[in-house]
Structure 1
């Protein structure tokens, strides 16, 4: 992973773990070293009403692929049984399926925003952005951890 920081590195970091070749602690600066994409997205927020912002950061898929998910090469569709859990420092967790962000299946966009409306997120940590969600439930702020692995490992079997 580009520039993955050691556990003692300064700044807000997220823990990338699960069924991966390269688990990591990543700072916002590490995520900025990856290819960036900007999306305009809006969602309804109960207490604040309609929110619309420009988000910039790497695709969640690119971050996870760089970590080397351990798909079983013998099982051609192994990746479709993988889940992704994104947890904020406040404990809010959103779950996505690998298939919904994989271009061979759903091909949806999920972004780890490192900038919102041009403002750097270094102090807060990145934010999960899922354009197309009309409710903000999967917009996880201040990400502390991302886990990915087979559904059975999460107790879903």
Structure 2
């Protein structure tokens, strides 16, 4: 799409939806109110080579935990069935497991970046940043939605 999805004076929003007790709509200024984490990231981009950036933003785990995922906290492994689907304005999607970001399991420092190289992402929208990924394929720019789905109760 050649035109911007957002007018020059519009702040981008992302929707937190799915199996959450407190779904929400968040902007970059909302994300800046969370404790900020920094990540210096280098990843290989298939079209433009190696990219180097510094991102800041809250941890995905912190934001989603505050939205109240509906797993049973008394059953530690119940959260392992939850998946997280992230969609961007450009049509890109990524899928993560709750176990990847959970401090009791994978503890991956996945960010909902509110800035890139010191520049706020108010109009462009937050970015999904997985510092541990060598390839940038799961990096999602201009996040429009994050859906938490715990419907995987059976492995039959």
The alignment's TM-score, normalised by the length of structure 2, stands at 0.89
State the distance in 1 between where 2:18 and 2:53 align. Answer: 31
State the distance in 2 between where 1:94 and 1:35 align. Answer: 24
Pairing of 1:105-144 with structure 2 (within 5 A): 105-144=105-144
State the distance in 1 between where 2:66 and 2:37 align. Answer: 16
State the distance in 2 between where 1:42 and 1:135 align. Answer: 9
Q: Name the residue aligned to 1:5.
A: none
Q: CA deviation at 1:136?
A: 0.6
Residue 103 (1) aligns with residue 111 (2): no
Q: Name the residue aligned to 2:26.
A: 26
Q: CA deviation at 1:152?
A: 2.4
Q: Name the residue aligned to 1:92.
A: 92
Q: CA deviation at 1:76?
A: 3.0
Structure 1 segments (4+ residues) deviating >2 Å: 72-76
SS in 1 for 2:63: helix
State the distance in 1 between where 2:133 and 2:63 align. Answer: 21
Aligned length: 147
State the distance in 2 between where 1:119 and 1:152 align. Answer: 38
Q: Name the residue aligned to 1:4.
A: none
SS in 1 for 2:152: helix
Q: CA deviation at 1:23?
A: 0.3
State the distance in 1 between where 2:143 and 2:86 align. Answer: 7
Q: CA deviation at 1:75?
A: 3.3
User: 1:110-149: per-residue Cα shift (whole Å, max 9, x none)?
Assistant: 0011000001100100000001211111100000000012
Q: CA deviation at 1:109?
A: 1.1
Higher alpha-carbon deviation: 74-83 or 126-135: 74-83
Q: Name the residue aligned to 1:6.
A: none
State the distance in 2 between where 1:36 and 1:75 align. Answer: 29
User: 1:12-47: per-residue Cα shift (whole Å, max 9, x none)?
Assistant: 100100110100110111011111001101100111
